[in-house]
Every structure is written in structure tokens, then in C-alpha cells.
Structure 1
Amino acid sequence: MALGLFRVCLVVVTAIINHPLLFPRENTTVPENEEGIIRQMQARQEELQLEQLRLEEEVARLAAEKEALEEAAEEAGPQGEAHASWDLWSTLCMILFLMIEVWRQDHQDAPSPECPGGDEDELPALGGAPLQGLTLPDKATLGRFHERCIRGATADAARTREFVEGFVDDLLEALRSLCNRDTDMEVEDFIGVGSMYENWQVDRPLVCDLFVPFVPPEPYRFRAELWCSGRSVPLDCQGFGQIKVVQGDDDTPGCICDKTKLGEDMLCLLHGKNSLVRPGAKMEDLLCAKTSPYVDTMQVMKWFQTALTRAWHRIARKYDFDLAFGQLDMPGSLKIKFRSGKFMPFNLIPVIQCEDSDLYFVSHLPKGPSPWSPASSMDWLLSFAVYERHFLRVMSKALPEGACHLSCLQIASFLLSKQSRLTGPSGLCSYHLKTVLLHLLLARQAADWTAGQLDMRLHDLLRFLEKSLQEKKLHHFFIGNRRVPEVAGLPEAIRRAEPLNLFRPFILQRGLYRKTVDSFYEMLKNAPALISEYSLHLPSDHTSLPPKAAVL
């Protein structure tokens, strides 16, 4: 009897110590990535399986003891029945301990990546459906606000683009004249992307984003390896790719003279007879990571900044202004500084074309909140900026004259920008707003986007964004979206890929999610007063840009 009582007390004490409410676990933080969650879940599963086997052995042993006790009870009478009852209590306590442990795992472990809708209780309580209880300004106020504050402030966008493009043409031409065709990159013509070329830029100063594609010298080429090309990649690498330097159709870099035995009367035109140096060795040292054939974004940044500096020194005497780098950790963040003290920023972004499509791998993105964070310097973001610009252009032709789709995006982007200045940046950025608009353009009829429906479509955009925040799920518009028309020309691998959740960071980073949601609802509360105030007068931060600089 004493042994049975001791076993019962031991089980009860163990259950109390493991109870999550009395003695919570110290390490309850969520891992910073989904890989850590998966490894943790697998380790926990193995522990539970071992625990299950141990309990099954314990139950089998208890059953054997019970049979032995029953046989002894027939001989010992009442004393045997007492021992059997204590073993029964021991078994019940073991079951209770197992139930407590299972409950703890279900309620305190981190949510699985496949359940992005968790933590709904973290949303602030604003009457169930905040947008239903929030009165946005009427369409007349919105129209007056857009006409006076946004359209008036961006009236010189066309002149800004013209000046920047003319200067960049001259800068890239100087860069090409300094390049050696045998060892240096070949720089192609720039491509205008982003809000300035999609006609919804609202932030001041106006900034042009220009893609600058580059290719290696012959016989080398870049070979793209997408995350959806069949190779196994971590979840945080989805939407990215790596770029390998190869020669022709061969994966192994090197000159043909390294692989073929030349005759005595034959020379390599690149190396000579006895040279062992490959023509691409300098190029690999320039762009690739050490001991790796993959292009490194940090190496590209160093090469590009050096090339731009040399090109500017070649043409600086022609211009009556100075050129400087705006951000040293961005490869082509440039700033034109006029003699008057005013400046004009723009971004030259080195990119690599993905096969024969309009997809481009981007080394760095401009500063600011972004849903993209590469895992390593060899991961390149796959940009759909050219497809997005083309899709908006096609939709604008199909919509009624004076459609309000871009006006909705401009107003929402304006509100988000002002809120970010007030409370600091959050997890939301203008790319999320544009993604919501692209989804709505496919979901609604063309007749729903007339100018008179500006207030309703703005309400739809904000409701869509709110629902996406609640579910922690906003799918990329192009990746895995079968509703995108085939005339868009997306590669089949992108159409067949699994949808990419742009709100995936919110699943793991609870602090960022809470701050983003709070900032979003604060933006909604401030929207009516902000729009009314800006409709009455233009604040001082909406003065016009400097006039076009003179060219000597």
C-alpha cells in the first residue's frame, strides 16, 4: 500500500510541476522563421511518440500487475482489493497527466504555418466591423481632395521623368564607353517602373525608379534558378531566386582552351598558347561570391557604384549640378544636387532578366517598409514591376473614361504615408495597397470604376485590406493566380506555382503584426479629418519641385 501511495504522489507532483498555468514555460517566444517552427514541431512529435510508447508499456505492465493482483486478491481477500484500488488511482493519475500535457501542446505551442488565420483575438475591438462604423468623406469631398492635393502636387511628374531619363541616358552611355567588352558587364537601356510610371505617385519628392539590365560578356551567360523550379527551398526564400554564371549551354565556367588540347600550331585568341587564366575569372571575382558560381548582390552593388562613379566623372563637366549617392547601402540611389540647394532623387536598380520574359531579378529594393527580406546575399527578388505596369495600362483602356482606380490607390497611399510619418513605419507598404487594387480590378466589373464611385471603391479597398490583415493572408497578384489572363504572358512556372502570401511575416512576428494593425486602424480614424483638412488648403510640404536644371 505504501508503494502505491508513493507512486500516486509522484505522479500528482509531476503533473502539478508541468501544469502550464502554475509553472509556465520560460521560453515561449515564437521562432523568427517558419523553418524553426517546423523543426520544433517535428522534435515535439518525436517526443510525444516516445512518450506514447512509454505509456503503452506502462499500461501493459499495469495490466499484467492487475491480473497478478486479482489472482492474489482471491487468496489474500480484502488486502488484495486495496492494492488493486491504489493501482487504479495511479493509472487514472497517469491519464490525467497525459491530458494536461496534450492540452498544453494544443494551446501554448506556436501556430503552424498552414494556419495563418490564428491570433484573431489580437485585433483591436472596434465594434466588430470598423469600416462599417467608420464614415469616410463623401465622393464630392474625396474628388476635391484628389484634385487639389494629389493631382496638383504631382502635376510636374511628366517633366521630372523627362529630365531624369535624359540624364540617365547620358550617364549610361558614358558607362558603356568605359567598359571593356571582353571583361566587363554589358549595360542595356533602362526600364521605368513603379508608381511614377504607373501614374499614382503621391509622396514628395517625386522619385523615378529605373531598372538597368546587365549581362555578362560572351561566352558567359546568367542562368536563373527560381524557388518554384523543383529545387527544395526554405519558406522564407519563396519569391526569390539565385543566378548562376555559366558558359553557353555548359554549367561549368571556363574557356574552351581549358578543356580541349590545342595543336602546336593553334593559339587561343583570348589567352595565348600557355595562358591558364580564364576570360571570365575577373568577371567572377567582380560579381560572384567566393567559392561560389552564384551572383552575389553585395558584389553587384560594389561593381555598379564604382561604374556609376567613373561614368559621372566622365560627363560631370557638361552639367551645372552635382551628383551624389543618396544611400550608400543601395547600389544606384542617386541624388542630383542643384546650386540652389534643392535636390532631385532617383534610383537606378541593377537587374538581371529572367530568361526571355519580362521578369527581372532585383539586387536591392529602395529603402522603406517592404514585404521582401532575402535570406542571403545570393538570393535575388523576382520583380513583376513590368507586368504590373502593363496590366494597369491594359485595364485603364478597358475601364470607363476617368476611371477612379488610380485615384483610390493614390488616396490610400497618401493616408498610409501620412500615418507612417505620424506613428512610424509598420508592416504595410504601398506595394500591399497596389496588390489589393489589382485583385479588385479582376473581381469587379469595368462599370464599377466610374469617377462617381470613388468613395465606394475606396471603401472596398480598405475593407479588402482589413480582411487580409485579420486573416494574415494577402496573396501575390501574379504568383499562382490562375485568374490572370493568359495574354499577360506570364511564364508557365509562375502560373503553376503555389500562391505566395505577402503577409507571411505577420504569422511569426507578433509584435510587427500588432503594430501594423494598430497603425491601420489609427489611419482609418484619422482619414476623415485628414482629408477634410487637406481639401481646404495645401500644407507647406506640397510645394513644387525645382525647375529643370540647365545643361552646359
Structure 2
Amino acid sequence: MPGGIFRVCLVVITAFVNHPLLFPKDNVTILENTDEVIQKMKEREENLRMEQLKLEQEIAMQEALAKSSEQATESEKQYDHDFLPWNLWTALSMMVFLLIEFWRQDYQEANWPDYANEEDEINVLGKAVKGAILPEKVILANFHERCLQTVTSDIARNRELVEGFADDLLEALRSVCNRDADMEVEESIGIGSMYENWRAHKPLACDFIVPFTPPAPYCFQFETWCSGESVAPDKQGCGMIKISWADEDSTGCICDKTKLGEDLLCLLHSKMNPLKQNNHVEDLLCYKDTRYLDANQVMTWFQVALTKAWNKISHKYEFSLTFNHIDVPGALKIKFKSGKTIVFNLTPVVQYADSDVYFISQFQSSNVSEEPTSSIHWFLTFAVCEKRYIQFVSKTLPANSCHLSCLQILSFLHGKQCSLTGPSGLTNYHLKTVMLHLLQIHPRMDWAPGFLDARLKDMLKYLEKSLQEKRLYHFFIGNKNLPEELGIPVGLQRAEPLNLFRPFVLQRSAYRKTMDTFHEMLKNTAALINEYTMHVPNGRGIPLNKDLL
């Protein structure tokens, strides 16, 4: 029997040592291949089951020998002496595995962060930021006004030119499309840093989304990840768009309730309807043999339509228009005869549930960097909600508040560091998400212009904490503390929080690169700011605001 106890101990110790979440390789993440983790866990479970079966058989044999033995009393005492420790070890083993399982569930499905304790956690985890030497408040203000506000002042001129041309281009696109068979394009909507006034880099690229709808009598139906019981992690934040007949489920027509005679014809639901007879639904940019909208076909259609539209109106303009990126059909570049260029992006989207949330096939450089798992899976973008929320909050903050200045400085520093050491896993969308979270944590008066250095340090601490935990929640998905004016669909607010840093859990090399870039940025912050401030002519500088001194 001592051998059985030893085996149980060995099984428990092996489970602890080999558990991928308790002792991950390199102490940074779990195995890169999720399927491999699941397979190994199944194999360990089967091994544990076999060990338990052997132990039960051994106990049964010893119990039979004890009953048949002549020394019944001594055997019974020995049995009780061994059986009690066996029960004890079995109970302890079950408790250990249950605790591991509960901890794993908490690790994978964390709840929305508790903002009451958020500042304490930031102060504990932000060790690298504490050790970094950041510029003083006056130097930061001088750098922002001399180096970054000059970028902001150019935005209005570029935006006005591009908006007018984009409207003309889309109007020409509508005229070249077949209204009975092609998608119907609506007015464009400006999004991103250019429309939120924190753009920090040139070229000044305007981002537009272009909603489109199917021709009558079709409509879109949506299937999101939060409507299913179990969804793979890589499909969270995605959805599928199904094209259906607008009256497919209708029972209001009299022909659905009454048998019409042979000489009577329903003009709405005629069996001779040529579109329905030819199964035209599948021809509307759907994936093969399905009714789900195919992002690749949508992009091809949009690129062809833009080319036809430009050919129709090109004689009106004294510049050329080309595609800036072959793989991104809506990335366009205007080139003047003088050599000056202006870039902008037109991205087709589908509106979700009459809200400011849209389905988008791919994000631009200022947004999330992941790609959909297949061409029928579309991302949800909250770009319009983000713009509206920043405008909403700005009205409640002090005059000349520093929230956008902090984001602009942080975006500039990260961009310059990436130009030195190569791209990292961080994007401007992550940085903006950090700012949105901090806007909910700090009181309004903490964003006065005199707190520029303090709030910038808070953003760096929050970013460091999120990187260390590999957890940065999407600001809108699962956040129940949003103002009703935004009109976020209830299903998205009640969904499980979406971790934007989930790829770092599996991609160890990308995580190391991102952490290295972040730490290098902290070390170089003072040098970068001093260098760029020195090379800006004094004549371009704007006098410092006295409130910042």
C-alpha cells in the first residue's frame, strides 16, 4: 500500500510540474500551439485515469486477500490503516486539480477590471516607468507645441481637400454601378486620428469608412461571436454577414395565407420572379455555395468600382490618382504635378444593427493588427463610437485638456522608436485604448493642461502593466459603464471583455520584441524629445501656455 501512496504523490507532483499555465516555458507564456496543449492535457488525463484504475485494482485485490485471510482482525486493522491515507490522498488530489481548473478559468475568462483598485495595481507593476527619466512638464509642453501642434495645424487643409474629392469619387462610383445588381454605396464617414485631432506622424492620411447595403429586395443579417454558446478565441470580436431576402420570413402577404387560383398572380411573391428563380442571392459577393458575404469579393468589387469612377471624373482634376497599396483596395494616393502627394483610405463597411458599430474586412495601420480567420469573418470596428466618445468627454474636461496631447506624444515616441528598432506588436489603437481607460479612471480635473507630465506617466504605467499581464481589454466590448448617448448595442455591452493582447499569450517572440521596444522607448524618451525640440526653428514654435508653467 505505501507503493500506491507513492504513485499518487508522483502523479500529483507530475501534474504540477507539467501544467502549462503554472510553469510555462521561459516564464512568459503558454505553448504556442493551442491544439497541442489540448492534446497533451488529454493524454495526461488518460494517464491519470489509468493510474487510478491500477490503484483501484490493487486496493480491491488487497481487500479480497484481507477478507480471505485467517488473520481477519489483523488484516482488517491493516486495511483500515492503509485505506484512510488512501482516501486522504484521493481527496487532496481532487482538491488540487479542482483548484487548478478554477484558476485556469479565471485566467482565461477574466472579468472587466475593477477601476476602484486600478491605480494601486498600476503603481505596483509600473516599475520600469518609475526608473525611467522622463522630461519635465515645461520641456514636454514646449516639445508638444513646437513639434506636434504644427502637424495638427496642417490637418484641416488636407482634410478639406480630401473630403471634397472623396465625395465626388463616391458619387461617380454610384453612377457607374448597376443599381439593380450591385451594392449601394452610402456617404463616407471620417474616422481615426485625423478626425480626433491627435495625429502625430506624417504623411497625414485621412481614413474613411464607406457603408454599403445590398440592392432591393435583399437585406443583411448578422451573426456575432456573442450570439453563440462557444466560440474560438481567434473569432472573438468577429462576425458573419448573411444576405437574405427582405421578405424571406414574412407572413404578412395574403398569398402566404390563401391559395391563389391558377389565373391569379401575386406580384410580390411570384414563382416566376427571375431574381429568386436564378438564386441571385449567391451572386451578391457571397462565399462559394453560401449566403455569407465574402470580404475578398467585396474588396475586388470595390477596387474595380473605384477604377471606373476615377476614369469617369479624371478629366476634371489636375492630379493623378493611384492605389497606394495593392493589397488594400481602398488605399489611394493623390499625386500633384509638383510632386506633392496626399494619401487617404476608403474602406467599405457594413453597419451593424442601426448603430455606430460597423463590420470591417480589415483594419488600417492605426487600428488592430490581427487578421480575420477567413474571408467570411468580419471585424467589428468602433471607430465612430471612439470619435463620438472623445468628443463627448472633451466637453466635460477642463479647457485645453491634456488627454489628446498625452496620446499624441506617446504615439510620436513609439513611432520614432519603431523606426529605430523595427515594428513591434503595439499599435496606435492600443495606445488610444489606454487613454480611453484612463479617462474613466481619473477625475475630470486631473486632465487640466498643468498635469501633462503626470498623465503621460500614468499612460506609460498603464501600458506597462497591461503588457506584463498580457491583458488590455477592448474599451467598448463588455464595458457596462458607457454613456447611453453612444448607443452601443446591449449584446456587445453584455459580452465577455475582449483582450486585445491575447496574441501575446501565444506568440512569445512577438511579445519579447514588443517588451524590448517598450523598454527602449522609455530609455530614449528624454533623448528623443530633446533632439527633436532642438531641430525645430524657434520661429515655428508657439508661445508656451502660462497654465503649463
- What is the TM-score with the length of structure 2 in the denominator? 0.80
Query: Match of 2:333?
Result: 335
- Label 1:33 to 1:385 Cα distance change in 2 as closer, same or farther (>3 A): farther
Task: Name the CA distance, whole Å, in 1 between partners of 2:531 and 2:266.
Answer: 77
Query: Match of 1:491?
Result: 489
Deviation at 1:323, TM superposition (A): 1.3
Residue-by-residue CA offset, 1:311-341 (whole Å, 9 max, x unaligned): 1111111112221112222231111122233
Residues 233-272 of structure 1 mapped to structure 2, 5 A cutoff = 233-250=231-248, 263-264=262-263, 266=265
Q: Are 1:53 and 2:46 matched, yes or no?
A: no
2:134/2:526 contact within 8 Å kept: yes
Deviation at 1:69, TM superposition (A): 7.7
User: Which has a greater percent of helix?
Assistant: 2
Task: Name the CA distance, whole Å, in 1 between partners of 2:530 and 2:209.
Answer: 38
Q: Which amino acid letter does the alignment assign opposite residue 370 of structure 2?
A: W
Query: Match of 2:117?
Result: none
Q: Note the residue ranges of structure 1 that are not aligned, 5 or more in a row.
A: 75-79, 119-125, 543-552
1:332/1:347 contact within 8 Å kept: yes
Task: Name the CA distance, whole Å, in 1 between partners of 2:395 and 2:17.
Answer: 65
Q: Which amino acid letter does the alignment assign opposite residue 59 of structure 1?
A: I
Residue-by-residue CA offset, 1:55-93 (whole Å, 9 max, x unaligned): 222333345456778859x9xxxxx9xxx9xxx99xx9x
1:324/1:336 contact within 8 Å kept: yes
Deviation at 1:369, TM superposition (A): 7.5
Residue-by-residue CA offset, 1:215-264 (whole Å, 9 max, x unaligned): 00111011111211245321221111111101115269xxx999998845
Q: Are 1:423 and 2:415 matched, yes or no?
A: no
Deviation at 1:527, TM superposition (A): 0.7
Residues 90-101 of structure 1 mapped to structure 2, 5 A cutoff = none
Deviation at 1:274, TM superposition (A): 5.7
Task: Name the CA distance, whole Å, in 2 between partners of 1:445 and 1:223.
Answer: 41
- Label 1:429 to 1:292 Cα distance change in 2 as closer, same or farther (>3 A): same
- Label 1:47 to 1:303 Cα distance change in 2 as closer, same or farther (>3 A): farther
Task: Name the CA distance, whole Å, in 2 between partners of 1:216 and 1:370.
Answer: 27
- Label 1:368 to 1:202 Cα distance change in 2 as closer, same or farther (>3 A): closer
The counterpart of 1:389, out of the listed 384, 387, 390, is 387
Residue-by-residue CA offset, 1:330-380 (whole Å, 9 max, x unaligned): 231111122233321111010000011111100111247835332211111
Residue-by-residue CA offset, 1:454-490 (whole Å, 9 max, x unaligned): 0000000110111111111111111111221223221
Task: Name the CA distance, whole Å, in 1 between partners of 2:16 and 2:353.
Answer: 57
Q: Are 1:448 and 2:440 matched, yes or no?
A: no
The counterpart of 2:312, out of the listed 299, 311, 314, is 314
Residues 222-241 of structure 1 mapped to structure 2, 5 A cutoff = 222-241=220-239
Query: Match of 1:133?
Result: 131
Q: Are 1:374 and 2:372 matched, yes or no?
A: yes
Residues 388-537 of structure 1 mapped to structure 2, 5 A cutoff = 388-537=386-535
Task: Name the CA distance, whole Å, in 2 between partners of 1:283 and 1:159.
Answer: 43
1:212/1:351 contact within 8 Å kept: yes
* Secondary structure in structure 2 of the residue aligned to 1:115: helix
2:209/2:349 contact within 8 Å kept: yes
1:220/1:280 contact within 8 Å kept: no
Residues 174-185 of structure 1 mapped to structure 2, 5 A cutoff = 174-185=172-183
Q: Which amino acid letter does the alignment assign opposite residue 146 of structure 1?
A: H
Deviation larger for 508-517 or 430-439: 508-517
- Label 1:146 to 1:128 Cα distance change in 2 as closer, same or farther (>3 A): closer
* Secondary structure in structure 2 of the residue aligned to 1:523: helix
Task: Name the CA distance, whole Å, in 2 between partners of 1:128 and 1:442.
Answer: 19
Query: Match of 1:208?
Result: 206
- Label 1:44 to 1:261 Cα distance change in 2 as closer, same or farther (>3 A): farther
Task: Name the CA distance, whole Å, in 2 between partners of 1:136 and 1:162.
Answer: 37
Q: Are 1:151 and 2:161 matched, yes or no?
A: no
Q: Which amino acid letter does the alignment assign opposite residue 51 of structure 1?
A: E
Residue-by-residue CA offset, 1:39-58 (whole Å, 9 max, x unaligned): 65455435423432332223
- Label 1:379 to 1:179 Cα distance change in 2 as closer, same or farther (>3 A): same
Task: Name the CA distance, whole Å, in 1 between partners of 2:41 and 2:249.
Answer: 38
Deviation at 1:164, TM superposition (A): 0.8
Residues 276-291 of structure 1 mapped to structure 2, 5 A cutoff = 277-278=275-276, 281-282=279-280, 284-291=282-289
* Secondary structure in structure 1 of the residue aligned to 2:210: strand
1:436/1:461 contact within 8 Å kept: yes
Deviation at 1:430, TM superposition (A): 0.8
Q: Which amino acid letter does the alignment assign opposite residue 248 of structure 1?
A: A
Sequence identity of aligned pairs in percent? Answer: 51
Deviation at 1:22, TM superposition (A): 13
- Label 1:199 to 1:534 Cα distance change in 2 as closer, same or farther (>3 A): same
- Label 1:24 to 1:450 Cα distance change in 2 as closer, same or farther (>3 A): closer
Residues 17-36 of structure 1 mapped to structure 2, 5 A cutoff = 32=32
Pairwise CA RMSD: 4.3
* Secondary structure in structure 1 of the residue aligned to 2:152: coil
Query: Match of 2:192?
Result: 194
- Label 1:34 to 1:396 Cα distance change in 2 as closer, same or farther (>3 A): farther
Deviation larger for 323-332 or 370-379: 370-379
- Label 1:444 to 1:221 Cα distance change in 2 as closer, same or farther (>3 A): same
Q: Which amino acid letter does the alignment assign opposite residue 509 of structure 1?
A: Q
Deviation larger for 333-342 or 30-39: 30-39
Q: Which amino acid letter does the alignment assign opposite residue 45 of structure 1?
A: E
- Label 1:116 to 1:410 Cα distance change in 2 as closer, same or farther (>3 A): farther
